[in-house]
Amino acid sequence: MTTLTQRTLAFIKELHADERGLNTAELLGNAALAIVALVAIWAGLQALGIDLIEAIGDLLTGEVEGAGG
- C-beta separation of 45 from 38 below 8 A: no
Q: Check residues 31 and 25 and name the one with the higher pLDDT.
A: 31
Helices (H), the chain: 2-17, 22-47, 52-61
53 — phi, psi (to 5°)?
Answer: -65, -45
Return mean pLDDT, the chain.
81
Q: What is the pLDDT of residue 9?
A: 81
20 pLDDT above the threshold of 70: no
Per domain, the residue ranges of the chain are 20-64
Does the pTM surpass 0.85? The reply is no
Res 34: pLDDT: 95
